[in-house]
Each structure stands twice: as C-alpha cells, then as structure tokens.
Structure 1
Amino acid sequence: MHEVFEGQRARLTGLAYRMLGSRQDAEDLVQEAYLRWARAGEVEHPQAWLTKVVSNLCLNELASARVRRESYTGPWLPEPVFTDEDPVELRDTVSYALLTLMERLTPAERAVFVLKEAFGYSHHEIAGFLDLTDANTRQLHSRARRRLGDGPRFTPSPEEQRRLVERFLAAAVEGDIDGLTSLLAADVTAWSDGGGKARAALRPITGREKVLRYVLGLVRRLGGAEIVLTEFNGEPAMVTFGEGSPFTATVFEVGEEGLTGLRTVLNPEKLRLVALRLSHS
C-alpha cells in the first residue's frame, strides 16, 4: 500500500497546491491523506479514492484559510514553487497570476476548476469526488471561468520573458530610469507579501511611475544582495539573498507591452522551502 500511495504523492501534492496556494499546507494535507489511506484497508480504485480524500481535505482547509486571509496583513500571495517541482504537465494552471486570481473563487468553485482544468476530470468524475451532481459541477465550473476572466491574450515565449526580465534587472541595478520605464507596461502593478513579518507595501502599487519608484526603493533596500534568476510556477522569477538566506522572491508577469506584474514574497514563512531547495543547489 505504501508503494501505491508514493506513486500518487506528487500528483496529489500538485492538486493540493493548486487548491490552497501553499506548498507547505499541501504537503501536510497529503500526509494526512496518507494516514487515512493506511487505515482504509483494501481500496478498489486508489487514484480516485485518494483524489476524493485530498479534494475534500482541501475544501475544509480553504474554508478556514479564507477566514485567516481576511485578517492577513497586506496582500496575500501564494507560496512560490520551482517549476520543475510541479508534476502536472499543464503549467498554465499553476501560474502565479492564476493562483492569485483563484482567491476570488469560493472553495467549491476552486475545487471544480482545478480538477477540470488542471487534471482533466469529467464533470461526472468531479461530482463523485465532491458529492455533487453533474449539473452542480457544470454550474460551478462556468461560474469560476467567468470570475477568472479570459486571461492574458498575449503570451511571450519563455526565452522572450527571460530576456526581458534580465534587461529589467540590469536596468534596476544600474539605476537606469529610462531603461526601466521602457520595460514597464503603463498599467503595471506590484504586490508585496510581508504578512506582518517583513516590511512590505500594504496595498498593491499600480501605474508605471509609482511602480518605478517602488522598484528603485527596493533596489536601495537590497543594497549588495546576491540575486539569482530562476523560474517559479512556470514564470521568470528572482530570489535575493542576504547572509546566505533568501529574503525576497519575485515572480514577473510579462505581457505585450512589457512587465505587467511584479509579485514579491517577503514573508519568511513562505520562503522556507525555497531556502531549503537553494541550500542544496
């Protein structure tokens, strides 16, 4: 039984992460599913059984997480994960922008959306996992799609995204204001998640001029910090280090007019797994 579960663990963690936006919580929840699996005895359809257990554990966690996030200090951002750590092929279903947008959804809408869009389950299968009717899941899926919108219309290649981010970082380090300005979209927005545990902007910063000032101020704060360019959630990102430990992780969103979003995590609790991974690199 242990081998069967371990064969499903990565997929279940990918499912839980998309539901919760937290890798640490996802791993804890999957471990709880393992304990239930160990007590269950013979299971006829292991993958379906485990998917149902994890989905419902996520629904319960999302209900309490929503209450916690209402009192969260400043913007709440998902915990970033390295792209190569995610087992699901559809990378766009784990993009940082989409995970942030999914906070708009009810727990049931989010569960149906993830099971349908990321894992390709039919409405009939999802109804069985969540103890709903087929009609319920279709309605929830349709409502989730409307709330999330159509998504970006322009998606540059990964190479183009990385080159733009490299140019942005070089201009930021050099204090090249004209260069930075040319790389920011007019409606660019920056979010900072400090969670009350690190200094961060308490509201989103919108507009090229305001974000430019924010970036220049951040560069001054970082001083001589080491910068590592990487990829989180299928998108270009950077990690900054001070005294050997990461203290910021920024995910960049790239659109047709340049950088359209900068999402920076400063909350040290959300950087623990990033630190662990990089310490082994």
Structure 2
Amino acid sequence: MAVAFRMLGTVDAAEDAVQEAFLRWYRMDAERRQRVRNPAGWLMTTLSRICLDILGSARVRRETYIGPWLPEPLPENSSVVGSTDPELSASIAESVSTAMLIVLERMTPAERVAFVLHDVFDFSFHEVAEMTGRSQVAARQLAATGRRRVEGYRRNEVSSQEHDRVVRAFRTAAEGGDVNELMTLLAPEAALLSDGGGVVRAALKPIHGARNVARFFLGVMRRRPDVKLTLSQSGNRTVILLVDGNGVGGVLNLGVEVGSVAHVWIQWNPNKLTTWQSADNEIKPRSV
C-alpha cells in the first residue's frame, strides 16, 4: 500500500492496484506459484507494472475530472505513512505531503515509478529495472529525471518550523476575517486550487493573485460559520482541517516559499478524506 499510494496519489487507487496484484498471484495455479523463487519480489514487480498502466490511463481520465485534481492528504498516523526505520521516517513522511505528491504528478509514469522505488524505498537500480521492464541504464535515467524535479521543488522549500509558523499565522488571519491581514501572508502571484471532484462544491478553476485568493477563502468561511479551523499533521507538515458537526470536511495545505504562501491546496472531495474520519487529528507539539 505504501508504495502504491506514492505512485498513484489516492488510497482507493492504491488499494485497487494492490488487490489486482494479489488477484494475479492467486489466479496462477499452484505449480506456477511454486516456481516463483521470490514471491514478494514477484508481487512488487507486478504492482509496479499495474501502477504504470494506471498512471498512463489516469492522465486521460483527469481530462474529464470536474475541477482541479489534487492528491489525497493523509493523517500523520495513517498506516500508509509509517516507517519502522527512524532514519527513513522523515523522507517517508515527506513523500506523502501534498506538495511532494503534486511534484510526483508532474513526472511521467515511468519517472514516478522509478523515483519512488529507488529514492523513496531504496530499491537498487537492478531491482527497479526488473520491476519496470527496463534496462538499468534507463531506470537510472528515469529516477535521475524525477530527482531533478524534486530538487527544483526543494530549492524553494522552507524549514518545517517556518512552514508551521506561516500556517498558524494563516489560520489566525482567516479566523479574524481581515482580507488585508491574510494578503500579507500570500505571495503576490499566489494560487489556490480546490478539489471537490464533482461531489461537493468547490472552485472549478484555479484562483490567482493574493487578493483574489484571500477574498475567496474568507468568502468560504463567511458562508460556513459552522466550520472551525483546526491544526493537524500531514506529510511531516502542519495542515489546517476544516471541521464541522459532521467531522473533517476539508484539508487545507499551504505551499510556503521564502516566508510567504505561494500555493493553497484545499481537498474537499469526501472520497479523499475518509482516512481523516477515524484518525486522532489533534495536533501534537513538535519536539525541538
């Protein structure tokens, strides 16, 4: 699940891919399964190729998606996020942040699969080549191209502490309802994307410019006085939950660059919020 989610960006798609891999395993007769010397490797290879196929068709489906498509945010305590290796925990958590998943979305399917397998989960290029059906040279090149895209994102990235400070200031300004105060936190060319998936109301097109973004978000808050803004954690970053009497109705992520908010991403689609309904979402203080 952990690998499939980072390749595909939603829990439902990841679950479907994992289920299909196991179905293919059990469709083989017992004799063929016994000839497989490394069942776990066979399953990972099969899963990787399923994800490649899904990513290829996903681009076509998203052309008919209602409004902007955003990846699914995950609570910090989701089993999809966790890692038993403390040395890997930070990079593993970062790889499910909304900002990182959006970077992954900009990769080709082959780049994404190679990058996730090698750079996130530390598979060798020999293993990546076998899993993707490519040569080791091609696998290395694909991962390197994906890595350059990630490095471009990281050049503008701020520290976790600075990101958290800006998120808290954003929440305070939003709760105060002052457009000018909120604008001071937004970059002049800030952009807001909201994903309702055609299921719930959301902006169907990106909103550009600090004033437009501030006015839009405060307008949402005025129309929904029952919504409370609560801090939580997702992908090693602080996020803002939009909570009403029915639970978490939205997750707001901020892309912070050099102290100001360059991107506002709001996930409203209830099909991408199911992991928040049963999670303990109260924010935990960061250890210093």
Conserved? CA contact 1:93–1:117, under 8 Å: no
Q: Which residue of 1 aligns with 2:143?
A: 141
Shift of 1:147: 5.2
Shift of 1:74: 1.1
For the pair 1:208 / 2:210, whether they are aligned, the reply is yes
Provide closer, same or farther for how the CA distance between residues 46 and 112 of structure 1 changes in structure 2, counting only shifts above 3 A: same
Q: Which residue of 2 aligns with 1:23?
A: 11
Provide closer, same or farther for how the CA distance between residues 30 and 232 of structure 1 changes in structure 2, counting only shifts above 3 A: same
State how far apart, in whole Å, the 1-side matches of 2:35 and 2:72 are.
35
> Out of 31, 48, 51, which is 1:55 matched to?
48
1:222-274 Cα distance to aligned partner (Å, 9 max, x none): 21213321112222212222332322111122221322211101112112222
Shift of 1:165: 1.3
State how far apart, in whole Å, the 2-side matches of 1:157 and 1:146 are.
20
Shift of 1:43: 4.4
For the pair 1:99 / 2:101, whether they are aligned, the reply is yes
Higher helix share: 1
Provide closer, same or farther for how the CA distance between residues 278 and 65 of structure 1 changes in structure 2, counting only shifts above 3 A: farther
- 1:121 counterpart letter in structure 2: F
For the pair 1:78 / 2:71, whether they are aligned, the reply is yes
Conserved? CA contact 1:238–1:249, under 8 Å: yes
1:128-159 Cα distance to aligned partner (Å, 9 max, x none): 11111112213323443455561132443333
Alignment of 1:151-166 (within 5 A): 151-166=153-168
Provide closer, same or farther for how the CA distance between residues 148 and 226 of structure 1 changes in structure 2, counting only shifts above 3 A: same
Q: Which residue of 2 aligns with 1:240?
A: 242
State how far apart, in whole Å, the 1-side matches of 2:187 and 2:39 are.
48
Secondary structure of residue in 2 paired with 1:83: coil
Provide closer, same or farther for how the CA distance between residues 64 and 154 of structure 1 changes in structure 2, counting only shifts above 3 A: closer
1:60-79 Cα distance to aligned partner (Å, 9 max, x none): 22222222111111110001
- TM-score, normalised relative to structure 1: 0.86
Conserved? CA contact 1:52–1:129, under 8 Å: yes
Secondary structure of residue in 2 paired with 1:138: helix
State how far apart, in whole Å, the 1-side matches of 2:76 and 2:255 are.
15
Q: CA RMSD in A?
A: 2.5
Count, aligned residues: 269
Secondary structure of residue in 1 paired with 2:192: strand
- TM-score, normalised relative to structure 2: 0.84
Shift of 1:37: 4.2
State how far apart, in whole Å, the 2-side matches of 1:65 and 1:278 are.
31
Q: Which residue of 2 aligns with 1:195?
A: 197
Structure 1 residue runs without a partner (length 5+):
1-12
For the pair 1:32 / 2:23, whether they are aligned, the reply is no
Q: Which residue of 2 aligns with 1:7?
A: none
